[in-house]
Structure 1
Amino acid sequence: MKKIAELKIGEALEDVQLNPVSRLDLIKYAGASGDYNPIHTIDEEAKKAGLPGIIAHGMWTMGNLSKLFTSYYEEGFIQDYSIRFKGMVFLNDVITLKATLEEKMGNQLRFNVLAVNQKGNEVLKGEVLFKTFTGTDITHIF
């Protein structure tokens, strides 16, 4: 596997496909995040809100973006990110995460990131700023 700093502008990280969204995923996320809005876990409440069924927490989808960079955490860290929610994620949706290197600024790499469902519809779009470690960064960690 290529080091993240060796990527060239326009190159992509390996896509990450998530398992189909399950009710249990959303219940666990509600507990971990403290977001107990019932549109994320109870069908009847989602329907009362005008939705066709329960929807995933937007932050659940956003948090999963970090999986794109898991293989590179020995080389650096996500310094910043900004995203825009583009669509809803429903039970059983299969989400694919994508990242393409847009810009290199010293030891900072800016990626365009995207999450799409099994129909190819964008559900999230944004940017991640990944900072690679330098010799001085590593001495501050230890």
Structure 2
Amino acid sequence: MSIKKTASAHWAGDLKTGIGSISTETGVLRDAPYGFKARFEGGKGTNPEELIGAAHAGCFSMALSMILGDAGLKADSIDTKAEVTLDQVEGGFAITAVHLILKAKIPGATQQQFDELTKKAKEGCPVSKVLNAKITLDATLQA
């Protein structure tokens, strides 16, 4: 089975003063603004790293849900935050790390099960597989 999803970006101008927009085929993002200031100076708009973080957090959460189900468990809640690190490296910039921070309520799960299943989700999520970055995880099983 092969699934294809699309997104698009438009850019006009030079790097520092130019402005762009990002859209998704579903329309969830429609001409969302992005630019140098949003990416490097905390300005308004989105940026590629933020979008990758959202994708990674969402993908990991869904992967964990599937893996929990395979283990006979069901989460009351899975809350994942992704911190994406963009570093200046030789030849430009690179995403060098993603740190996932998970808080989950999973009735009946032991700490050992939780640790094993979250590691499996981190390694198996499709977004984790596509990133050439160090991916770490802090996982908290909540009562």
**Normalised by the size of structure 2, how large is the TM-score?**
0.37
TM-score normalized by structure 1? 0.37
Q: Which has the higher strand share?
A: 2
Greater RCO between the two (CA within 8 Å, min separation 6)? 1
